């Protein structure tokens, strides 16, 4: 299991990519396979194992829709 689990409220994401830019590990990207009701591709993470839990993404999100949980 990865050390951290990062989740995005996909319904609320507006695809601004601020979190994509903020991540020092470059593991966040917009998911082209999902389009939310507002017409945006929400942010998602492919390699959760590479997350270091720095919270840069969550702090940067203007809509506070990113949640980071430390796994035991
Ligand atoms: S917590 Fe840090 S390393 Fe993990 S996804 Fe967010 S910005 Fe990237
Ligand atoms: S910063 Fe927030 S609203 Fe912008 S793409 Fe990332 S999760 Fe979505």
The tens digit of pLDDT for each residue in 27-61 reads 999 999 999 999 999 999 999 999 999 999 999 99
With beta carbons less than 8 A apart as the criterion, state whether 22 and 57 touch: yes
Atom nearest to 17 CA in ligand 2: 5
CATH fold of 4-70: Alpha-Beta Plaits (3.30.70)
The stretch 13-26 carries a mean pLDDT of: 98
Q: Helices in the chain by DSSP H: which ranges? A: 18-22, 56-60
pTM above 0.85, yes or no: yes
The ranges assigned to domains in the chain are 4-70
Q: Residue 35 and residue 56: Cα distance in Å, rounded?
A: 24
* DSSP single-letter state for residue 47: -
Ligand 1 centroid from CA 54, angstroms: 5
The number of beta carbons lying within 10 Å of the beta carbon of residue 19 is 24
Whether 1 has a pLDDT exceeding 90, the answer reads: no
Mean pLDDT of the chain: 97
* Ligand 2 pocket test target in 6, 7, 8, 67 with most atoms within 8 Å of CB: 8
């Amino acid at each position: 299991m990865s050390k951290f689990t990062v989740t995005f409220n996909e319904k609320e994401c507006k695809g601004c990519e601020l979190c994509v830019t903020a991540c020092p590990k470059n593991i966040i990207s917009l998911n082209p396979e999902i389009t939310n009701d507002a017409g945006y591709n929400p942010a998602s993470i492919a390699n959760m194992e590479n997350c270091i839990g720095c919270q840069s993404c969550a702090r940067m999100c203007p809509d506070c829709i990113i949640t980071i949980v430390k796994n035991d």
